[in-house]
């Protein structure tokens, strides 16, 4: 169903790099708003199913997709056609996927990053990687509490857009906004991105405790509060504004990812708590989620910046079998909560 106001939208072409869970949901959102959307996807069966059946059973099962959303396995086709390009692939693949087309994306394009992670080789976040790859393009960061399976089914959702130019934020918001999906603006792209990255670490922790059937509301409240404190401390050390973490892309995203049954990071914690090795978790999930890769990077960065992250350090020890989850919990109560 095309949303209210779709007939009044401008003739902007929308592109997507990645038709996974989030990419497909955002693409379908824009398509239902009346835009023609083309998305690149690595998996050929996903491309075929979207074009022929208007579904994506692999990544967004049970959602009927707009015929305005089409798929391709040729990234060049997206670059040639799209005015606004959303990047929705795992952060580990951002550089290798986009580098071949980097020279063709100039100042006439808006590139919206939705990837949440840090490149293990360069130490750059996904948003900064995109900025390096496309120095002439106008870049926007999108983050916030947005579980794709929920807003794809019409559940109310609010996200944050950050970038250098307000006109670019308005252009992106016009593509996305619908009755159930709204945007807010920020001038702190660093904080918006880091909130979306760091919350994945602590979502793993909540999954660990759930997997051990430790469901105390008292503990969860304390754990999430201290998690937010650590996120803020590291974020400020990296140049973000402290207040950013108290809003949608910090607190909001932390709550959504930690509490949602759809969260891949939380699911990883649950699997580890049940005795699965990292190798078994990767085999089960297909790929280790962003939070695990981010955790080691965050600890390394925090050490260099002299920012203490005792909670994150404790999670690392639990994940690697050095400390039992129950031992960590009581140490958390004794040592971390003052």
CB 161 within 8 A of CB 173: yes
Q: How many residues does the chain have?
A: 338
DSSP assignment of 161-211, as one string?
EEES-HHHHHHHHHHH-BTTEEEEEES-HHHHHHHHHHHHHHHHHHHHHHH
Contacts of 262 (CB under 8 A, 6+ apart): 147, 148, 149, 150
Q: Which of 116, 199, 212, 293 is catalytic?
A: 199
Cβ(257)–Cβ(324) below 8 Å: no
First to last CA, the chain: 52
Helix (H/G/I), strand (E/B), else coil: 67: coil
Cβ neighbours of residue 34 under 8 Å, at least 6 residues apart? 2, 3, 6, 7, 9, 68
Place of tokens 């400390």: 323
CB 305 within 8 A of CB 279: no
Residue 158 φ/ψ, nearest 5 degrees: -130, 130
- Residue 296 a catalytic site member: no
Show which residues are catalytic: 199
């Amino acid at each position: 169903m095309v949303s209210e106001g779709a007939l009044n939208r401008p003739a902007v072409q929308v592109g997507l790099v990645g038709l996974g869970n989030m990419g497909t949901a955002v693409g379908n959102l824009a398509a239902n708003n009346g835009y023609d959307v083309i998305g690149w996807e690595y998996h050929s069966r996903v491309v075929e199913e979207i074009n022929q059946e208007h579904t994506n059973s692999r990544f967004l099962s049970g959602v009927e997709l707009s015929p305005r959303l089409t798929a391709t396995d040729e990234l060049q086709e997206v670059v040639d056609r799209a005015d606004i390009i959303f990047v929705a692939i795992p952060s580990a693949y951002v550089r290798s996927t986009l580098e071949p087309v980097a020279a063709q994306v100039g100042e006439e394009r808006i590139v919206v990053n939705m990837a949440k992670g840090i490149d293990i080789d360069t130490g750059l976040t996904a948003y900064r990687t995109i900025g390096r790859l496309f120095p002439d393009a106008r870049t926007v960061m999108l983050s916030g509490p947005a579980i794709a399976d929920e807003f794809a089914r019409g559940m109310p959702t609010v996200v944050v857009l950050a970038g250098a130019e307000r006109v670019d934020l308005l252009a992106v918001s016009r593509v996305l906004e619908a009755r159930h999906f709204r945007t807010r603006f920020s001038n702190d792209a660093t904080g918006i991105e880091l909130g979306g990255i760091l919350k994945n670490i602590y979502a793993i922790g909540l999954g660990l405790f759930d997997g051990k059937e430790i469901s105390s509301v008292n503990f969860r409240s304390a754990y999430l509060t201290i998690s937010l404190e650590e996120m803020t401390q590291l974020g400020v050390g990296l140049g973000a504004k402290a207040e950013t973490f108290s809003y949608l892309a910090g607190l909001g995203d932390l709550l959504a990812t930690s509490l949602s049954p759809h969260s891949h990071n939380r699911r990883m914690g649950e699997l580890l708590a049940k005795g699965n090795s990292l190798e078994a978790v990767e085999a089960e999930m297909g790929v280790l989620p962003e939070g695990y890769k981010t955790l080691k990077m965050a600890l390394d960065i925090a050490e260099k910046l002299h920012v203490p992250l005792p909670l994150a350090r404790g999670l690392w020890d639990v994940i690697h079998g050095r400390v039992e989850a129950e031992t960590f919990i009581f140490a958390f109560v004794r040592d971390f909560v003052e």
